[in-house]
Structure 1
Amino acid sequence: MSQPTASPQQIAPSFGSVTLEHYLSELGAKVPAPGGGAVAALHAAQAAALVAMVARYTTRAKDAVHRPIVDRIIEAADAAQARSLALADADAAAFTAVGAAYKLPKDTDDEIAARTEAINAALVEAARVPAAVVDEADEILSLAAELLPIGNPNVVTDIGAAADAARAAAMSSQLNIEINVGSLPAALGDAFAAALLRVDTIAARADALHADVLHAVRS
């Protein structure tokens, strides 16, 4: 699983330490970040939290036979939540770095070369972060699907909500990968082809899981 890297330009404070009201205020403001990339990562974080919640409700005495699986899902979902939250911060930092790179001077050949290199490096990072969110969405969806047959039926709808959030994380990340890759040389952009190809599969799996949960609710 890809890990977000620290950046001196990282937006502070972290999304994990601000109120929801502050986050939404910043999201709705005329500022470069946060934007859709951070939203995608937070979709993944919420999906992971929902999976963890359903798993924790599946620790009743009657669930004892499934306890090893449930405990593993809890641990994996908690870790995915933490990674996704960190990716929201990394996305904001990456977007800021792209803007800074485009503002570099371009008056001489050396400056043009340095600026181009800086822009490409920033765009690669700006594509890497949503590609990592796709990884998280994929894993979270797998955890949700594994949990559905054994999860506490009283909170089964939250598995469906987790699938929908994971889907949103992947689809939104697709947009952010595409826009950054579109400005990169093919030699650099091709590295993200696999992540882009997985998005449609993730969306189809999420839709199928949503349908399975809906069937369970209606049965």
Structure 2
Amino acid sequence: MSAETASPQSISTFAGVSVGGYLDDLAAKIPAPGGGAVAALHAAQGAALIAMVARYTTRAKDVAHRETIDRIIAAADAARTRSLALADADAAAFTAVGAAYKLPKESDEQAATRAAAVTAALLEAARVPAAVVAEADEVLSLAADLLPIGNPNVITDIGAAADAARAAATSSQLNIAINVASLAAGEGAEFAGALRTIEEIVARADALHTDVVTAITTR
């Protein structure tokens, strides 16, 4: 959906809505929530899965890894909180882009003000998915740390977390691209690093998924 079609309609906060309510809003003919929020929630779900597996890895036999497990739990919980906030930030950023496009442009002064507002809003709308990419990267790193020591009874959830991180990254790629495409040449240069990270995340997530499948089939 083009940012120019955005309106103030969106759910107020993802932390306070039921899954059913969120899906109703996602399916409705309103601009937000959309793919950006979905990407952030992919990252949040991946982080939650990592925290769950880590909490299942606190048995007596896991005592040698307790310091690492505690670190993973704390980091995963923090990533989940940040990712959930980014879902809200995406809806707000998308709404701001729509508001910027609706500014008057009859006079030269108005047109200049509108152009500056649109550029600022598009940059912020791209920065949110770029931040989601960073969270996806964190989730994937935690998954890699957890795989060798995680409770084997829930090892598939580590693979699911990696897949969620991958989806968060590739969905964010689309949202960065559509906002940068509306900017003047060179104005989206700050997102080059995030785009490179997405390529790395895809490769790492695919490799980790394969490692999980191998672990399941060879045990």
Q: Tell me the TM-score normalised to structure 2 length.
A: 0.94
What residue identity is the alignment partner of 1:21? G
User: Residue 166 of structure 2 aligns with which residue?
Assistant: 167
- Is residue 132 of structure 1 aligned with residue 131 of structure 2? yes
Across the aligned residues of Structure 1 and Structure 2, the Cα RMSD in angstroms comes to 1.1
What residue identity is the alignment partner of 1:171? T
User: Residue 96 of structure 2 aligns with which residue?
Assistant: 97
Contact 1:37 1:172 (C-alpha < 8 Å) held by counterparts: yes
Task: Give the whole-Å Cα distance in 1 for the aligned partners of 2:48 and 2:187.
Answer: 34
User: Residue 19 of structure 2 aligns with which residue?
Assistant: 20
For residue 11 of structure 1, report the CA deviation from its aligned partner.
5.0
What residue identity is the alignment partner of 1:62? K
Aligned residues: 211
Contact 2:10 2:25 (C-alpha < 8 Å) held by counterparts: no
Contact 1:55 1:147 (C-alpha < 8 Å) held by counterparts: yes
Contact 1:10 1:93 (C-alpha < 8 Å) held by counterparts: no
Unmatched tracts of structure 1, length 5 or more: 1-8
Superposed CA deviations along residues 26-46 of structure 1, whole A, max 9, x for unmatched, are: 000010100000000000000
Which secondary structure does the structure 2 equivalent of 1:150 belong to?
coil
What residue identity is the alignment partner of 2:43? A
What residue identity is the alignment partner of 1:157? T
Determine what percentage of the aligned residue pairs are the same residue.
71
Task: Give the whole-Å Cα distance in 1 for the aligned partners of 2:123 and 2:170.
Answer: 19
User: Residue 155 of structure 2 aligns with which residue?
Assistant: 156
User: Residue 64 of structure 1 aligns with which residue?
Assistant: 63
User: Residue 74 of structure 1 aligns with which residue?
Assistant: 73
Superposed CA deviations along residues 76-112 of structure 1, whole A, max 9, x for unmatched, are: 0000000000000000000011111111101000000
User: Residue 179 of structure 1 aligns with which residue?
Assistant: 178
Unmatched tracts of structure 2, length 5 or more: 1-7
Task: Give the whole-Å Cα distance in 1 for the aligned partners of 2:45 and 2:24.
Answer: 19
What residue identity is the alignment partner of 1:200? E
User: Residue 35 of structure 2 aligns with which residue?
Assistant: 36
Task: Give the whole-Å Cα distance in 1 for the aligned partners of 2:117 and 2:189.
Answer: 18
For residue 147 of structure 1, report the CA deviation from its aligned partner.
0.2
- Is residue 193 of structure 1 aligned with residue 192 of structure 2? yes
